Each structure stands twice: as structure tokens, then as C-alpha cells.
Structure 1
Amino acid sequence: MRIAVYLPLLLSLLAPLGARPLSERCEPRLATWLLTASALVLGAATTISLGLLAVTGLIRIPQLADLGHWSSHRAQHNDPTQLSIALVAGLLLGGAVLAAARMLWRRARTLAAAALDAACMPARDGLVVTEDEAPDAYALPGLPGRVVVSTGMLHTLHETEHDILLTHERAHLTAHHYAFVALAQLGAAANPLLRPLATAVTYTIERWADENAATATGDRTRVARTVGKAALAARRAPALTRAGGAALGILGRRSPLATAGPVPRRVAALLAPPLRRHPGLTAATATLLTAAALATAEAAHDFHLLLRTVGAW
């Protein structure tokens, strides 16, 4: 196997460096798409690279090589990959597959539970008001989804700020933000080096919802004040309530604004002019993803040639 098989692994070391610039300088909707695509593509590319490296180790074992009618001697002679590297790649691949499968299972169960809860909740225009003095507000995915707000949160905010809160939470449902979070976390599960990208997605979806509220109301300052008030009230909620929201996240039942992302950064962004699309960061991200895809394709081609050389065809 040549250098191409290692390139996705190298790019996964560099990609997290762009998470903060993308989330801070690029329009939130575009940033969310770019970050999610980066986590997913790089997670898949590194998993494929590990798989290719692992198989090169397997075909060096005579008993396994005989199953595919390969020559283990030719494999050792024609493949420069060290056996120790192949073994490490196999171990990492096993861990990545298990982590990704575990994450998918947990998210599927949580989403199913959220959809069931949403279907059972009586709602008016998709809004559910719960009798709870603890300030809380969250979007509950489902068919259809629900926006759940506690009486404590409604009492905390002024009546003129209720529409901002509802617009923010409804934006999570209409834009399917839970799917972006799930896909980014899937890539991070397959490759833990990509966790900063998944973390950045949880921030940019909140910024996306904030900007929707600002566009709908036409008053960025009022939206910033509402975000700050809601977050401060949620932080003062009982510890047990906050822990439940933090653990379940956007795919669960509760998602307090206090745990959704760095609130001061969101408020500061709302008090500044709206961010625009950043051509430089977009081009850099596209270049990185293209390089990862081409390197993976080249590595797969090299593997195909290796199998031909050792007698598979």
C-alpha cells in the first residue's frame, strides 16, 4: 500500500483545526453543512483506510491467503506495509466499527423514544406547555415533532420574547438539526480525532436557530437578550433537571439552552452583523474533502492491484 492510504488519517489530524474558524466566521447554516460533511467523509475515509491496511496483514497469513487463493509470499514481497502497522490498523478498525455501531444503536433508540413521546403529547400548533417551575425549552423530534416549553421558562421571559423562543426551537425541527448532530457524531465515533467537528456542529445548529429567530423578528438585539435570559434561567434550574438535558442532548427529551453551546459566543454573534458565506473556508473544506476522497479511491485502486499481483485474479 502506498502513501495514499495514510492521507485520510493525516487529514483527520488537520481537519479539527478548522472547526473553530468555520463555526465563528462562516454563516451558521453553511458551517453546519461543511462541518457535518467533513466529519462524515473523513470518518468514512479513515475507516476504509484502516480496513485496507488490516486486510494487507491478513493476506500475509498463509492459512487466510489460501482461502482467497492468494500467495502470502508475494504479498510480503510486493506490499511495503509493515505487518505491525496492519495489526494496529486492524485493532483500530475493530474499535471504530464497534463505536459507530454502538452510537447508531443508542441514537436510533433515543430518536424512536422521542418520536413516541412526541406522538403521545397533546399539542396546539406543535407546542406543548408543561407545568414545571424549572425553566426549560427543547425541540422533540417526531412525526410531527413538538416544541416543549415549561411554565417556568414562559414566566422567566417577557411575553414579547416568547415568539423568539418558539421560533428558535421550531427551527431545530424544520431544519432537522438532530440529523446533522447524529451524522457528525457518527463520524466522530468512527474516528475520535474528529470530535471537535461534532462539538462544533452542536454549536452551529444553535447559531442557525438563533439567526432564524433574528430574521423572523428583525431585531437581533432582542434575540440576543432572550438567548441570554433563557440560558441564565436554565443554569439556575435544579441540578437534576440540567443533568438530564445534558445527557440526552438534541436527540433526547430535553435540551436546555445553557447546554446547547457557549452562550456568550452566541450572544456576541447576535450583537454583531450577520455572518456571510466565507469563500476561503468553503474552498479549503471542499479541497480537504476532495483530497480525502481521491486518496481513498487511490488506496482502493492500489489494493486492487496488490490482489491481482498476489494471484486473486
Structure 2
Amino acid sequence: MRISVYVPLLVTVVLAVLAPRAARRPAPRPAAWFLACAALVTATGWLGSLALLAFTGLAQIPEVAEEGHWSVTALRTQDPVSLAVAAVSALTLVAGLVALGVAAVRQVRHLLWARRECDRLPEETELAVLDDDGPHAFALPGAPGRIVVSRGMLRCLGDAEREALLAHERAHLRGRHHLFQAVWRLAAAVNPLLRPLAEAGGYVLERWADEEAAARVGSRTVVARAVGRAALASAGASRPAALAATGGAVPQRVQALLAPPPPRRTLPFVAGALLLTLCCASLANAVSDSENLVDSAERAQCAADAGTTGAAPPMGHAPHGPDPCCEHRGADGHGGHRR
């Protein structure tokens, strides 16, 4: 466990540095799925490693060991984790869980807000046009979702560009991109090192919608022009808390649309998949080692308790009462607690 418990932490750092850059080059749709999976796996591995480090260190406290009926000496001999490392891990774990709870509440409030906004819109169709001179265009997730466009935004675009803008917003709703955003925000709340990954995910979602809009309209140039004009029109205006066509790094998006479609590269995803597999395998190995460590410490404590109960009974006489080691070991004799 000494090495395996730290591997998920190292994988998290590596992906936080490399994944945002690598995800901008291949096709955006598989890149978004990869970033979502990476966020889930690394956040889980981060919490699991911190929990194991905190438990293994805090378990060496005599009062904790007495409650758990295991030997402190055995724990310190087999896999020592300093109390300083355990304390830092415990504090980081608690902070991450609290931040996760706060972020989860915010995401739920955002979804409820989007649903209320959908209910307030006058039309019952997918598209709602607001009588507003301000340039606004965004998608509201819901069941079903709605596309909101202001008259001010429509006046800034030509007919083909309006079609591209609506196709972009429909791609957000069809791909349920708000769920991807929720995953990245929750992962970044658990581990601030994953914030660059969440920022890259937002850009990838906009690129995903751009590519689908280009496929619908049949012209990458029209979509690039629509994105650029919409961004210029909405410059300085307040951004809605929803998926908008003017989000992300607009110059990079326009440049990507004016270039040929991105290739479907598999090497970055294969390398990332190997890192995620290593993270999962290391965490599973650390959990198994931790269970074996506790079982061994329990057996050591049982043996020590049995040695202090008194002299052995005379030969030919069976000891009265249950075996003291069986009080804390399962029926299979492998140190498991009785249920």
C-alpha cells in the first residue's frame, strides 16, 4: 500500500496538467466523454487515497486502536504512515467533501432555475424569442429543454447564420451538455487541481456544438461567421448562467471552424485510458492491502490478549469459554468481523 495509495494522487496531477491540452486537438465529442470519465475516476481516486491515508495514520492512535481491537505496534511495523500525513489527508478529505456538497447544492439550484425559466417562457415550442434588444442566445436544459434567443441577437445575424446559431444550441440540448458541466464542476470542487480540466471541458463542449452545427448547416464558414458575430454583438453584455453560443474561447473556435474537421485521434485517449486504468487498479490494490493490514493487526492483538489471560490449562483439559481471538475474527479465521 505504501506505493499504490499514492498512485491515484499522481495520476490526478498528471491528467490535470496534460489532459486539457490534449483534449483540444482531437474530435470534440470523444474528447468531452474522455474528460468526463477522467474527472469521475480521478476525483474518486483522489478521495479514496486520502481516506486510506487518513485511516492508516489515525488507526495508530492508541485510543482508536483500542476501539478497533487491533495492534498499534503491528500497524507501525508493517505500513507506517505518520500522523502528520494522516492529519493533512484527513483535513483535505473533509474539505473536499464539504466543497462537493456545496457544489452539488449549486448544481441542483441551477437545474431548478433552468426549469423555472422554461416554465416562464411564453411559447410552448422549443424556440422562444424574447422581445429584447439585448443580444442573447442560450439553451436552457430541462424536460424538454428550450432555446432562448432575443430579437436583438436575431437582428445581428443573417438567415444562414441564424440557422447555424439555432443548430448550435440544439446540439447543446441534444447532447445533454449540462450533465458534462455538472460532472466537471463537482470534480473540480473535490479537487481544485482539476479546475483546468473543467475549463477545457467547457471549451470542448462549445466545439462539439460547433461541429454538429456545421454538419447540420453544411458550411463551416457560416458557423464560424455566426459564432464570431454573436460574440461581437454580446461583448460587454451579461452572460447567462446557461449554455451559450458565445461561450468558450471564441477566437480559437472560429479558427478551428475555418480549418478542416479535426481528425479522430486515438493515441491520446489510449494513453489516458491506461492512466485511468492504473488509477483504478492502484486504488483497488491499496484497499486490499489496507484490509489485510487491519486483519493482521487484529490477529496480533488477539494473540497478545490471549497471552495475557493467564497460564495455559493443564494437559487434557480443554479451556473454558470461547477463544479470545474469535471475538474479533470471522468464522473463516481470516480476521473478518462477524456480521
Alignment partner, residue 200 of structure 1: 200
Q: Distance in 2 between matches of 1:18 and 1:215?
A: 29
Moved more, 57-66 or 263-272: 57-66
Q: Give the secondary-structure state (helix, strand or coil) at the position aligned to 2:23.
A: helix
Unaligned runs of 5+ in 2: 299-327, 329-334
1:71 equivalent in structure 2: 71
C-alpha deviation, 1:183, in angstroms: 0.5
Q: Do 2:141 and 2:178's aligned partners in 1 also have CA atoms closer than 8 Å?
A: yes
Asked if structure 2 preserves the Cα contact closer than 8 Å seen for 1:172 and 1:209, the reply is yes
Post-superposition Cα deviations, 1:220-240, rounded to whole Å, max 9, x if no partner, equal 011101100001111143xxx
Equivalenced residue count is 300
2:71 alignment partner AA: S
One of 292, 301, 310 as aligned partner of 2:288: 301
Aligned partner of 1:131 in structure 2 is: 131
Label 1:198 to 1:269 Cα distance change in 2 as closer, same or farther (>3 A). Answer: same
Aligned-residue CA RMSD (Å): 1.4
- Give SS of 2:24's match: helix
Q: CA deviation at 1:157?
A: 0.8
Matches of 1:201 and 1:25, distance apart in 2: 12
Distance 1:217 1:296 in 2: 46
Q: Provide Cα deviations, 1:242-293, integer angstroms capped at 9, x if missing partner.
A: 3xx2xx3x3xxxx4444x2110110011011111221111111111111111
Listed as ranges, the matches of 1:173-212 within 5 Å are 173-212=173-212
Higher relative contact order (CA 8 A, sep 6+): 1
The structural deviation recorded for 1:124 is: 4.8
**2:223 counterpart of 1:223:** yes
**Residue 259 (structure 2) pairs with residue 269 (structure 1):** no
160-169 or 13-22, which deviates more: 13-22
How far does the alpha carbon of each residue in 1:122-148 deviate from its partner, in whole angstroms, 9 at most, with x for none? 335311111111101110011111000
Which runs of no fewer than 5 residues in structure 1 stay unpaired?
none
Give TM-score, length-normalised by structure 1. Answer: 0.92
Give me the whole-angstrom Cα distance separating, in 1, the residues matched to 2:188 and 2:264: 25
- Is 1:280 aligned to 2:267, yes or no? yes
Q: Does structure 2 retain, via aligned residues, the 8 Å contact 1:231–1:263?
A: yes
CA distance in 1, matches of 2:16, 2:114: 31
Q: Would you say the 8 A contact 2:57–2:80 is kept in 1?
A: no
Change in Cα spacing, 1:309 to 1:54, as seen in structure 2 (3 Å) is same
Query: 2:82 — aligned with what?
Result: 82
Secondary structure in 1 matching 2:283: helix
- Contact 1:36 1:197 (C-alpha < 8 Å) held by counterparts: no
- Judge which range, 169-178 or 56-65, deviates more: 56-65
8 Å CA contact 2:58–2:83 kept in 1: the answer is: no
In the alignment, what sits opposite 2:47? 47
Q: Which residue of 2 aligns with 1:61?
A: 61
**For residues 244 and 172 of structure 2, what CA distance do their matches in structure 1 show?**
13
Cα distance in 2 between the residues matched to 1:236 and 1:300 = 51
Residues 97-143 of structure 1 show CA distances to partners (whole Å, capped at 9, x for unaligned) of: 11111101110111112112213323353111111111011100111
Percentage of identical aligned residues: 44
**Is the CA contact 1:231–1:256 (under 8 Å) kept in the aligned structure 2?**
no
In terms of fraction of residues, the more helix-rich structure is 1
Q: Partner amino acid for 2:135?
A: P
Aligned residue for 1:92? 92
**TM-score, length of structure 2 as denominator length:** 0.85
| Distance in 1 of aligned mates of 2:168 and 2:125 | 15
SS at match of 2:234: helix
Q: Secondary structure at the match of 1:288?
A: helix
Letter in structure 2 aligned against 1:38: A
Structure with the greater alpha carbon radius of gyration: 2
On the 8 A contact 1:234/1:256 being kept in 2, the answer is no
What SS does the corresponding residue of 1:135 show, helix, strand or coil?
Answer: coil
Whether the 8 Å CA contact 2:168–2:245 is kept in 1: the answer is no
Between the aligned partners of 2:260 and 2:60, the Cα distance in structure 1 is 60
Structure 2 letter corresponding to 1:148: V
Aligned to 2:311: none
8 Å contact from structure 1 (residues 116, 142) kept in 2: no
Q: Secondary structure at the match of 2:138?
A: strand
